[in-house]
Structure 1
Amino acid sequence: MNATVDPDSPIGREARAWALAVSGEPFPPERSADLRHWLDADPAHARAYEEAEAVLLALSELPSLARPAPQSHRKPLARPSAWIGGVTALAACLVTAVFIALPPAVLETGAQSRQVALKDGSTAILAPGSRLAPASRWNDRRYVLERGEAFFSVRKADGRRFQVEVGETQVEVLGTRFDARTSASGQVRVAVEEGRVAVYQGTARREVARLGAGDYVLVENGRAQGGRLPAPTEAAAWRAGRLAYADAPLGDVVADLVARGHAGLRVTPRAAALRITASFQLDQADRFIASLPEILPVSIRASGAQRTIDVRPGTASAP
């Protein structure tokens, strides 16, 4: 187990300063980049920062814990110094027991989508097979999309930016409606239904796109490619039961279908690398799968309830 970082060490003091800075607003993008560089410089930095966040969260509860009960008599407390000392001791215990603070709840979905209300008043609709986690115990407008896809309706909050990390990609908005997806192959897609979105890449936060309503961007292997949707409402067509892909690996399509109940579907690594552009209703997925040999150089083998998609014999190599 990693040892707790001494809060009075240089790293501990710097972590505490960062945690206090993040807890306040505003926290501009350049400061966010500086923090990311500091966290990535040493595993001890990230550990110290997590511990500092936990302490600040726990200490935020002190006012209610320390407030004395209302007195029915005007007689002063007999030993005020003892009460103050008890609060000080409680604070000290919180500092040394930083791991007691519970981590933020992670939001996950199975085969069904799920709508959730976020703490800041925004909402998120998670696609099947998705996982969304708060990025911080302290900031209720920072999230990490660890798996799958989510559509966000972001509430404006006095200039506070709403941030979503998707792999090495960061999405940042003030108030808008947008969809973010991370696929099995690592491709990231961001599409906007309403408002404006800034998309950054990597720890240096290199801006790769500014999107308006109806715009989308695909980020893959550090490269970004933008485009236009047929209509802004197509940003999250999966909400209406339709899956849409633009130059996506076939493996990503299969992974999405498996997450949505097609458990017996498999794809070989060679076939998974084939690229496809397609759009189909989810209730027509079986027809789409059956048509794949007409679209791509693949064959489908059936064995009981399992279907395996493979590159057709004689195909030299997957593109």
Structure 2
Amino acid sequence: MNRTTPPIPSSLHEQASHWVVRLRSPDCSASERRAFQDWLALSPQHRQSYQKAEAIWREFSGADVQTDPRLMAARDGLRRAQIERRRARRSLRLSIAASLLIAAIGMPLAWDWINTDCYSTLKGQRQHIALRDGSTIELNSNSQVRVRYGWRGREAVLDRGEALFSVAHDETKPFDVVAGHGKIHDIGTRFNVCMLNNAATVSVLEGEVAVATERRPDPQTLLAGQQIRYDTRGLASAPTRFDATTVAAWRDGVLVFKKTALAEVLAQLSRYHDIELRVADPQLQNLKVSGDFPTDDLNLALNAIGAALPIKAVRKNERLIEFER
């Protein structure tokens, strides 16, 4: 007697979930497995869809689909489909899981992240954030971070500004930080991430991290005392050494500069005050500035810069100060 092979669904995510289920079925034939390999080779999108479906299947593995609260929402919308597809008792669990798998792939945001918290600061503000997993975030002035929790991991998205992360390590739920066009993967550590002038700088204070960018998807490991910088194109610099006391000084209301370009110094100061600081002459932008400047006293900082360099600060209006010769 010829066995009937279940038809392959039409949409890509349904096809992927179909193959995940069929390959785990005891009656999956050799010809079906060859057909799967042909399907997988059709495009990178096919491989990505299958990998995603397989990851979600692993999440379901061992779970009681009748009582697991994570499946309740999907079950309500699929009750009719489950009834229509009911087969013998021995395959009931498999068919329900397959239905939920299709739903999960079709609703990635709902399944990947079950909760998101958003934190932000205004100019001149700082915030200490204690996360539910024991990790902490020190959020600098004019910054925003979104923290997302899922069953398979934790992720913080730094939308703007600067933050220092102290991560409570959990091998079962890795902690990643997305900043601009890169991602930082925690390996048990404390690290600072600063987004400024369309670039991100990652500085490791303790432990180590792995940094991947759009141009360099293979993670690059950074150890304590190392930092890396990448731009909006995902181009990353080589790791360099840095002074930890300089990078983290903002937590004490101080900015420390050591032979830093004037343009960058002004950009840093602008993050703390509701006024634009600008260099009128492009030739002055790379003048080097060194010193410790309070974040809450703009006049003191500008006077110190004017005294150290052959330039002066000129107030153009209430919202703009320019440096000129």
TM-score normalised over the length of structure 2? 0.59
> Unpaired runs of 5+ in structure 2?
1-8, 21-43, 60-64, 83-98
Alpha-carbon distance in structure 2 between the residues aligned to 1:17 and 1:122: 39
- Deviation of 1:160 (Å): 4.2
Larger radius of gyration: 2
Contact 1:170-1:199 at 8 Å conserved across structures? yes
Does 2:156 align with 1:143? yes
In structure 2, the residue matched to 1:177 is 190
Secondary structure of the residue aligned to 1:288 is: helix
- AA aligned opposite 2:146: A
Alpha-carbon distance in structure 2 between the residues aligned to 1:219 and 1:87: 45
Contact 1:249-1:276 at 8 Å conserved across structures? yes
- AA aligned opposite 2:290: A
In structure 2, the residue matched to 1:264 is 275
- AA aligned opposite 1:88: R
- Deviation of 1:295 (Å): 5.0
Would the alpha carbon gap of residues 136 and 11 (structure 1) be closer, same or farther in structure 2, given more than 3 Å must change?
farther
Would the alpha carbon gap of residues 276 and 162 (structure 1) be closer, same or farther in structure 2, given more than 3 Å must change?
farther
- Deviation of 1:200 (Å): 2.7
Identity among equivalent pairs (%): 23
Alpha-carbon distance in structure 1 between the residues aligned to 2:152 and 2:306: 48
Alpha-carbon distance in structure 2 between the residues aligned to 1:305 and 1:204: 43
Does 2:117 align with 1:115? no
- Deviation of 1:276 (Å): 4.2
What is the RMSD of the two structures over their aligned residues, measured on CA atoms?
4.6
Does 2:147 align with 1:124? no
- Deviation of 1:176 (Å): 1.0
Alpha-carbon distance in structure 1 between the residues aligned to 2:109 and 2:242: 47
Alpha-carbon distance in structure 1 between the residues aligned to 2:137 and 2:169: 14
Alpha-carbon distance in structure 2 between the residues aligned to 1:16 and 1:310: 65
Alpha-carbon distance in structure 2 between the residues aligned to 1:157 and 1:195: 14
- AA aligned opposite 1:193: L
Alpha-carbon distance in structure 2 between the residues aligned to 1:158 and 1:100: 22
Secondary structure of the residue aligned to 2:116 is: coil
Does 2:199 align with 1:187? yes
Cα-to-partner distance string for 1:129-166 (whole Å, 9 max, x where unaligned): 11112467655422221211101111111364321122
In structure 2, the residue matched to 1:104 is 116
When structure 1 is superposed on structure 2, of 250-259 and 186-195 the one drifting more is 250-259
Q: How does 1:163-174 map to 2 (within 5 A)?
A: 163-174=176-187
Alpha-carbon distance in structure 1 between the residues aligned to 2:188 and 2:228: 19
TM-score normalised over the length of structure 1? 0.60
1:157 to 153, 159, 170: 170
1:10 to 9, 12, 18: 12
In structure 1, the residue matched to 2:322 is 309
In structure 2, the residue matched to 1:286 is 299
When structure 1 is superposed on structure 2, of 162-171 and 202-211 the one drifting more is 202-211
> Unpaired runs of 5+ in structure 1?
1-6, 19-40, 68-83, 313-319
2:252 to 240, 245, 249: 240
- Deviation of 1:126 (Å): 0.6
Alpha-carbon distance in structure 2 between the residues aligned to 1:279 and 1:62: 61
Contact 2:162-2:195 at 8 Å conserved across structures? yes
2:313 to 275, 296, 300: 300
Alpha-carbon distance in structure 1 between the residues aligned to 2:269 and 2:156: 25
Contact 1:188-1:218 at 8 Å conserved across structures? yes
Would the alpha carbon gap of residues 13 and 252 (structure 1) be closer, same or farther in structure 2, given more than 3 Å must change?
farther
- AA aligned opposite 1:147: R
Cα-to-partner distance string for 1:65-84 (whole Å, 9 max, x where unaligned): 999xxxxxxxxxxxxxxxx9
- AA aligned opposite 1:219: Y
When structure 1 is superposed on structure 2, of 289-298 and 113-122 the one drifting more is 289-298
When structure 1 is superposed on structure 2, of 151-160 and 197-206 the one drifting more is 197-206
1:219 to 230, 248, 252: 230
